[in-house]
Chains A and B, each alone.
Chain A
Amino acid sequence: MSVPSSRDADARFWQALGEGHLEMPRCAGCGTWHFPAVTRCGECGAWEQQWQQVPARGTIFSWTRSWHGFGGSESIDLPYVSVVVELEEAGGLRLMGLLDGAGADTAVAIGAPVVGQVGSVSYGDRDVATIKWRLAA
């Protein structure tokens, strides 16, 4: 597996989470939103990306509720719900995250609106930053 490095195209993503907010990358040349983050825009060839702060707000694109204790997920109480969220204000880019507080009986549905805030998950001896989502009221 790969651990983030400051040289990676997505370094700003992790820095921004560390600062407590969400930033997503957009091509400075043609405006295409890219995720995974890229060094070069495959659409127009531009080498510059602009990181834009976006609200952690969107809808559930898909989800799974894990009941089995997979190696590497020990710090998360079972069962837990993982979501793919389509961001509202980032050209439809999607982000993975946890649906915070969702348990065995929480009704989860594709299309449900969610809001998130920066959190973290323990993995081995590291804390991995992530967005923790909640079903919007």
Chain B
Amino acid sequence: MNRNLYGTTAVAGVGLRQFKRGQAPYSERAALVHAIVDACAEAGLDPSDVDGFVTYGDDKNEPVRLAPELGTKELCWSMAVMGGGGGGIAAAFGSAAAAILTGQASAVVVFRALVQGDSGRLSTAVMAHHLNDYMIGAGIVAPAQVCAIRAQRMFEHHGVPASTAEEFLKACYYHGSRNPDAIAYGTAFDHDAYLASRKIAEPFRLFDCSRENDGAGAVLLVSAEKARDLKKPPVYLLGVTQGAQKGWGDLLENDDADVYASAGFNGVARRLWEQTDLTPADIDCAQIYENFSAQGVSSLVDHGFCTFESAAEFVRYENLIAPSGKLPINTHGGNTAQGFIHGINIAVESVRQLRGESANPVPGAKTCLLAGGPGSPTVSSAIFGTSAMVG
């Protein structure tokens, strides 16, 4: 166990402002400032005392530009996770914790903001990061296609039934339908409508794809000690890992054959379990970034909840829903049914679930896995826990 990291920092506040795509009532920066102020209000911390910021996914909001609106007394930590798009979300917590634990900052906000009028379509921005002539020459110009071609191999070569993707979505929609803050609130998942939705890039249909929202999210991390003096029950960071293992990366489809159809978490997941001394059996619920349905499934495989061979048995709707499934996932609805601001939503739900504030509570949940954007050249994962996990 990495005792320097395990339970030594904690989330003290979260903020999330979400709107329909293209319909934010204010600018991207304003949405972000609102989310940060919301997170601070939960904690009972003055926004001017936030002295660190970490983002990911090519967010364009430079922390120093937020300072006049937050009243920032001193900016001490201003970082962005390189590459990876949504794959960097958990890594942002690693950076924030590193700053706090080494005394370089004391109150660090992890954030992501996205308002289409300011930053354009997310899918376009993500592709601008990755696109090259090899891809253009193959007609592969969008994240849906990049992930579809991996999903096809998982289904066709590794024999994972495509029905697992639908089961995953069904669980997301079940949770979203019961969450008043979700885009799918009140909307039941319909098998026929799923099959009737138009094809995007095989094996994906429209319902297999996440749809971005306007908005911003902020998660305030402080030392465990400081968190205990703030208003909300601390949600502890137990471990976090990021990166890519040899054989996975930005390799023009030349990832090792045994991991090609994975979500890229092989080394990240192994190190996360080693770092925390926890195993998949210790995880009570999980927020799994599903840019596309199949990548949600391969993330579960990568983290060891099942294998390609046992995926059909494990990735079943009843296993994945609160309150009593073996591993309730995306308990707010996930990217597909709650909303998608480049994944910051799933970090917020990790915290709310462990505080008992989720629309779909998992009774007695002590741990929550946060798995970042799957399939990215670099990915990251984290585990959060309640005070019951910290001695």
Residues on A lying within 8 angstroms of B by beta carbon are 1-4, 14, 35-36, 61-68, 70-73, 76, 79-80, 82-84, 92-98, 109-110, 120-121, 123, 128-131
Contact = CB atoms under 8 A, between A and B. Distances in A.
Given A70-B141, A94-B253, 20 more contacts: A3-B133, A36-B252, A62-B149, A62-B150, A62-B152, A62-B260, A62-B261, A63-B149, A64-B140, A65-B201, A65-B202, A68-B144, A84-B253, A93-B254, A110-B153, A121-B137, A121-B139, A128-B136, A129-B137, A130-B136
Contacts of B188: none
B251 interface: yes
A3 B128 CA distance: 12
A79 B141 CA distance: 14
Contact of A83 (B124, B138, B150, B202): B138
Nearest to B202: A65
Contacts of A131: 137
A110 B202 CA distance: 14
Contact of B139 (A4, A14, A82, A110): A82
A121 B130 CA distance: 18
A82 B140 contact: yes
B78 interface: no
B135 A63 contact: no
Nearest to A37: B252
A84 B149 contact: yes
Contact of A35 (B139, B145, B200, B252): B252
A82 B156 contact: no
Contact of B253 (A4, A68, A70, A96): A96
Contacts, number: 122
B254 A64 contact: no
B138 A96 contact: yes
Interface string B249-281: 011111001001100000000000000000000
Contacts of A67: 198-202
Nearest to B148: A64
B122 to A, nearest CB: 13
Contacts of A2: 132
Q: How large is the interface on B (under 10, 10 to 19, 20 to 34, 35 or more residues)?
A: 35 or more
B131 interface: yes
Given A70-B145, A98-B139, A110-B153, A61 B133 contact: no
- The 10 residue pairs across chains A and B that have the minimum distance between CB atoms: A130-B137, A96-B138, A72-B141, A1-B131, A62-B153, A67-B199, A64-B148, A70-B142, A65-B202, A64-B149
A73 B254 contact: no
A23 to B, nearest CB: 14
Contacts of B257: 92
B53 to A, nearest CB: 28
B3 interface: no
A110 B138 contact: no
Contacts of A61: 153, 253, 260
Given A1-B132, A67-B198, A121-B136, A62 B144 contact: no
B197 to A, nearest CB: 11
Contacts of A94: 252-254
Given A62-B152, A109-B156, A98 B201 contact: no
Contacts of A96: 134-135, 137-138, 140, 252-253
Interface in B150-165: 150, 152-153, 156-157
A82 B132 contact: no
A92 B254 CA distance: 9
Contacts of B199: 65, 67-68, 79
Among B128, B148, B253, the most chain A Cβ lie within 10 Å of the Cβ of: B253
A76 B132 contact: no
Contact of A128 (B137, B148, B198, B261): B137
A25 B100 CA distance: 46
A1 B257 CA distance: 26
B152 A63 contact: yes
Nearest to A121: B137
Nearest to B205: A67
A130 to B, nearest CB: 3
B137 to A, nearest CB: 3
A130 B136 CA distance: 9
Contact of A76 (B139, B144, B203, B254): B139
Given A61-B253, A110-B153, A66 B145 contact: yes
Contacts of B148: 64
Interface string B340-358: 0000000000000000000
A19 B134 CA distance: 17
A94 B260 CA distance: 12
